[in-house]
């Protein structure tokens, strides 16, 4: 093998350039960074720039709306700021803004804007009802909204006691501080049904009076349809007349049918009713029951249209507004032979079939009255 066979083969490809030697000063200077790549024409397009901005703003908007919705949801459902139960009046005709401000001013809701937003979001603006509402302590805004939409306003009560005259009922309606308006005329005696009536603030006195009249008409229609056909009462109007007398004769519920039976028996025998309350009403009218009055013997003999000691049958009209129980008692009275009754000194009455028995009962009642007078302390001398 010759020397040529051992010669190093030439390198394949070009050799890398040999570094040019630099002076120490040059070596201390940093190499210049390469320039940034040139942006494409598409990236420099104004439309692309605008779209990128819009998308960025949209993302921020979505995040903002989400955060706002979450905060509003918490405000809407968490317990409210009200420290104790409170009644708030939402006036008729109040708009959504006025309702929200009213609730906020009374401390019922924490933020009127949340209330406004939710109402508009769910379309409940036209469903909010005026009225007086009782909001519980720490009631959430959602519960407040539900209460107003449902119209669960505060219910007040007005009670009419049995046996009041129409004039007395009107006077009490006029004294009620929650009712409003005036009453045009006093209804006829016996036209109103004594009961407890529920009403909301804003109800007028005339509306209450109209309700009482409708209630009386309905009750009388029902009771008249279920009456004993054998009673000598020819019309619903006569039933009211006799029921008003029964109402003023006894305040004990368990006596009403028996007292009614006495008067029915007397009518059947064509005996005069001889009821003391009719005398008082004939003399004093609707003011007869404002204070107790003693019936004198001269009153028994004095003619007046209502004096059942002097007239036959029923008086010309009711002497009060009877309650439902007295109407029922006359429609279906007790079946007895009793023709008389007198007070027994305990708030009730003792009944009798014969006049002799009745006179003995009256004598005992006179003794009770005398004993009560004797037991009263003497008036101090002047």
Distance CA 348, CA 368 (A): 13
Give the residue among 130, 163, 161 at the shortest CA–CA distance from 148: 130
294: Cα separation from own chain's centroid: 42
Return the pLDDT at 44: 58
CA-to-CA dists, residue 42 to 46, 56, 90, 205, angstroms: 9, 19, 62, 80
Contact, 154 vs 180, CB < 8 A? no
What per-residue confidence (pLDDT) applies to 382?
53
Closest CA relative to residue 342, chosen from 279, 274, 272, 295: 274
∠ Cα 85 87 90 (to 5°)? 140
* Of 251, 254, 259, 240, the residue nearest 341 (C-alpha): 259
Q: What is the reported pTM?
A: 0.73
Please tell me the predicted confidence (pLDDT) of residue 308: 95
Name the residue among 152, 150, 156 with its Cα closest to residue 173: 156
pLDDT tens per residue across all 382 residues of the chain: 444 554 555 555 556 556 555 566 655 555 666 666 665 665 556 766 666 666 666 655 555 545 545 445 667 788 989 889 888 999 888 899 999 999 999 999 988 888 888 888 888 888 898 889 989 999 898 899 899 999 888 999 999 999 999 999 999 999 999 999 999 899 999 999 999 999 998 899 999 999 999 999 999 999 999 999 999 999 999 999 999 999 999 988 899 999 999 999 999 999 999 999 999 999 988 888 887 777 888 888 888 999 999 999 999 999 999 999 999 999 999 999 999 999 888 888 999 999 999 999 999 988 887 887 777 776 565 5
**Structure tokens belonging to residue 77:** 């459902």
| CA–CA separation, 115 and 132 (whole Å) | 19
For residues 215 and 169, the answer to whether their CB atoms sit within 8 Å is no
> Which residues, 6 or more positions from 196, have their beta carbon under 8 angstroms from its beta carbon?
157, 158, 159, 160
Alpha carbons within 13 angstroms on the beta-carbon side of residue 217 total 7
CA distance 221 to 344: 35
Question: What crossing angle do the helices spanning 96-105 and 112-122 adopt, rounded to 10°?
Answer: 150
Secondary structure class of 351 (helix, strand, coil):
strand
The pLDDT value recorded for residue 228 is 96
Q: How far apart are CA 304 and CA 326, in angstroms?
A: 25
Beta strands in the chain (DSSP E): 86-90, 131-135, 156-159, 196-199, 340-343, 349-352
> What's the Cα-to-Cα distance from 82 to each of 78, 138, 141, rounded to whole Å?
12, 5, 11
Structural domains in the chain, CATH included, are 86-150 (3.30.1490.480), 221-338 (no CATH)
């Amino acid at each position: 093998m010759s020397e040529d066979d051992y010669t190093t083969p030439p390198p394949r490809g070009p050799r890398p350039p040999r570094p040019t030697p630099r002076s120490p000063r040059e070596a201390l200077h940093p190499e210049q960074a390469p320039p940034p790549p040139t942006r494409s024409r598409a990236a420099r397009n104004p439309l692309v720039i605008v779209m990128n901005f819009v998308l960025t703003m949209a993302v921020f908007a979505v995040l903002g709306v989400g955060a706002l919705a979450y905060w509003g949801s918490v405000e809407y459902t968490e317990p409210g700021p009200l420290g104790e139960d409170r009644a708030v009046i939402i006036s008729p005709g109040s708009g959504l803004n006025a309702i929200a401000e009213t609730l906020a001013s009374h401390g019922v809701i924490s933020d009127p804007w949340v209330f406004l937003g939710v109402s508009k979001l769910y379309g409940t603006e036209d469903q909010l009802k005026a009225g007086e509402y009782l909001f519980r302590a720490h009631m959430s805004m959602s519960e407040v909204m539900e209460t107003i939409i449902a119209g669960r306003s505060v219910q007040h009560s007005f009670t009419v006691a049995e046996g009041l005259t129409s004039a007395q009922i009107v006077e009490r309606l006029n004294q009620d501080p929650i009712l409003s308006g005036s009453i045009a005329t006093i209804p006829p005696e016996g036209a109103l049904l004594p009961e407890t009536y529920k009403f909301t603030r804003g109800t007028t006195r005339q509306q209450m009076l109209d309700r009482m009249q409708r209630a009386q008409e309905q009750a009388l229609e029902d009771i008249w349809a279920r009456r004993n056909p054998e009673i000598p009462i020819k019309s619903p109007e006569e039933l009211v007349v006799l029921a008003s007398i029964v109402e003023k004769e006894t305040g004990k519920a368990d006596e009403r049918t028996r007292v009614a039976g006495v008067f029915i028996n007397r009518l059947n025998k064509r005996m005069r009713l001889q009821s003391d309350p009719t005398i008082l009403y004939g003399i004093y009218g609707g003011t007869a029951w404002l204070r107790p009055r003693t019936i004198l013997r001269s009153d028994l003999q004095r003619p007046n249209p209502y004096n059942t000691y002097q007239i036959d049958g029923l008086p010309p009209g009711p002497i009060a507004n009877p309650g439902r129980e007295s109407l029922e008692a006359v429609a279906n009275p007790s079946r007895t032979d009793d023709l008389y009754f007198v007070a027994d000194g305990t708030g009730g009455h003792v009944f009798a079939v014969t006049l002799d028995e009745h006179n003995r009962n009256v004598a005992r009642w006179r003794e009770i009255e005398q004993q009560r007078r004797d037991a009263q302390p003497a008036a101090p001398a002047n």
